[in-house]
Amino acid sequence: MLMIILALDALDLKQVERFNCHHLLQTEYGETSLTGFKQERTVVLWASFLTGKNLEASIPVETQWTYRVHSEKTFLPYFTTHKTIDVPAFSFNQKAHVEERGLLKGVFDETVTIEAYDAVVWRNHEKNKEAFLKTIGHFDLVMGYFNLADAIGHLSFGINDKLAVVYEELDRIAEAVKDSNDLLFIISDHGMKAIGRYGDHSRNGFYSFNQEMGLHHPKITSFHMLLRRLAENEYATS
Partner 1 sequence: MDKDLQDLEKKSIAIIREAKAQFKNPAILWSTGKDSTTTIWLCKKAFFGDIPFPVIHIDTGRKFPTMYAFRDKIAAEWGFNLLIAKNESALNQGMAPEKGRLDCCTDLKTEALKDLLQERKFDALFLAIRRDEHAIRAKERYYSPRDNDFNWNYADQPAELWNLYVKPSEDFSHMRVHPILHWTERDVWQYLQQENLPINPLYYAKDGMRYRSLGCMPCTVPIPSTASTVDDIIQELETSKTPERAGRTQDKEKAYMMQKLRALGYM
Stretch that binds partner 1, among 113-121, 129-137, 195-203, 208-216 (CB under 8 A): 195-203
Rounded Cα distance between 108 and 142, Å, is 35
Q: Smallest distance, Å, CB 102 to partner 1?
A: 9
Site map 118..157 versus partner 1, x via CB under 8 A: ------------------------------------x---
Interface with partner 1: number of residues (CB under 8 A): 22
Residue 45's φ and ψ, nearest 5 degrees, are -70, -40
Nearer to partner 1, 109 or 212 (CB): 109
Per-state percent for the chain, helix, strand, coil, to nearest 5: 45, 20, 35
What does the alpha-carbon distance between residue 180 and residue 150 come to, in Å, rounded to a whole number? Answer: 29
Task: Report yes or no: 13 and 191 within 8 Å, Cβ to Cβ.
Answer: yes
CB-nearer residue toward partner 1: 4 or 87: 87
Q: Which residue from 12, 31, 40, 169 is in contact with partner 1, where contact means CB under 8 A? A: 40
CB of 141 to partner 1, least distance (A): 28
Least separation in angstroms between residue 40's CB and partner 1 is 7
Q: How far is the CB of 64 from partner 1 (least distance, A)?
A: 5
Helices (H), 90-222: 94-108, 114-135, 148-156, 160-177
| Stretch in the footprint of partner 1 (CB under 8 A) among 21-29, 40-48, 73-81, 133-141 | 40-48
Nearest approach, Cβ of residue 43 and partner 1 (Å) = 8
Using CB under 8 A, pick the residue from 22, 68, 101, 134 that binds partner 1. 101
Q: What count of other Cβ atoms lies within 10 Å of the Cβ of residue 169?
A: 18
Q: Residues 79, 140: contact at Cβ < 8 Å?
A: yes
Which residues neighbour 13 within 8 Å (Cβ) at sequence distance 6 or greater? 29, 30, 31, 191, 204, 206
Restricting to residues 53-82, name those near partner 1 by CB under 8 A.
Answer: 61-62, 64-65
Q: What is the DSSP letter of 212?
A: -
What residues does 210 pair with on adjacent strands? none
Shortest Å distance, C-beta 154 to partner 1 = 7
Q: Contact residues for partner 1 (CB under 8 A)?
A: 39-43, 61-62, 64-65, 101, 104-105, 108-110, 154, 195-198, 200-201
